[in-house]
Structure 1
Amino acid sequence: MAAQRAGMHREEEAAMFLRSRGYAIVARNWWCRFGEIDIIARDGDQLVFVEVRARRTESHGSPEETISTRKTKRIIAAARIYLANNDCDLAVRFDAVAISGNDFRLHKNAFTGEE
């Protein structure tokens, strides 16, 4: 339970980080049969699906390294379901926010829907 609370706290911090960069949060923790999308946001004329990854330290690798091909495929599949169920004519992008301690890194186009 503590790990889940910590994860939710880091996702809230990631949402604030994105807002500070001009993103408008559309949804958080959106679920479908393929899994969860941490944050769905709008950045200008693009709808952005954001994966949030956090680590206390990088002694065992960076947060970015934990985004597997399997995970990206699930996010892409979930995004397709979201788009099918929501009227949206915006371009789509997949970003990642990596959090290591107090360091936040935004990776625009972290992966594509081509995976």
Structure 2
Amino acid sequence: MFFLGKKPQPGVSGTTTARGQAAEDQALAYLQARGLRLLARNYRTPGRGGGEIDLILQESNGTVVFVEVRSRSSTGFGGAGGSISAAKRQRVVLAAQHWLLQHGAGQACRFDAVLLNGAQLEWLPAAFDAG
């Protein structure tokens, strides 16, 4: 097989990556329009099996908001929200704990989700907790 430019990674579709990036861009614009300030994007913990946080923002009152962005073309199979498993939530919580240790462990925080089902965007503040 011949590739022009960078060889794609196994199991990673360029169109899937592009759709995910576009969903994060849309979520970020939506949240910034509501007054949240971007602190970090695609934050990853070091090491194997670590977590990743799509967006880390801050509200005007100082609350740090860890955001999981999910996009699905339809609501079948639970839609975008149905894809946030307990294991995924746990990885996000662990990554958030790591981020807070580096950037201010005493700050108030919460875990939000932005769901894109087709063209419909839904913001779920406090979608899950660290428990």
What TM-score, normalized by structure 2, do the two folds share? 0.82
Equivalents in 1 of 2:37, 2:19: separation in Å? 23
1:61 shift after superposition: 2.4
Equivalents in 1 of 2:45, 2:94: separation in Å? 9
Equivalents in 1 of 2:15, 2:41: separation in Å? 20
Higher strand residue share: 1
- CA-based RMSD: 1.2
User: What are the ranges of 5 or more consecutive residues in structure 1 without an aligned counterpart?
Assistant: none
Q: Give the match for residue 43 of structure 1.
A: 59
Q: In the alignment, residue 35 of structure 1 is paired with which amino acid?
A: G
Which is greater in Rg? Answer: 2
1:59 shift after superposition: 2.8
Structure 1 stretches of at least 4 aligned residues deviating more than 4 Å after TM superposition = none
Q: In the alignment, residue 100 of structure 1 is paired with which amino acid?
A: N
User: What are the ranges of 5 or more consecutive residues in structure 2 without an aligned counterpart?
Assistant: 1-13
Equivalents in 2 of 1:89, 1:19: separation in Å? 24
Q: More relative contact order in 1 or in 2 (CA 8 Å, sep 6+)? A: 1
Q: In the alignment, residue 74 of structure 2 is paired with which amino acid?
A: T
Identity %: 33
1:42 shift after superposition: 0.4
Aligned residue pair count:
114
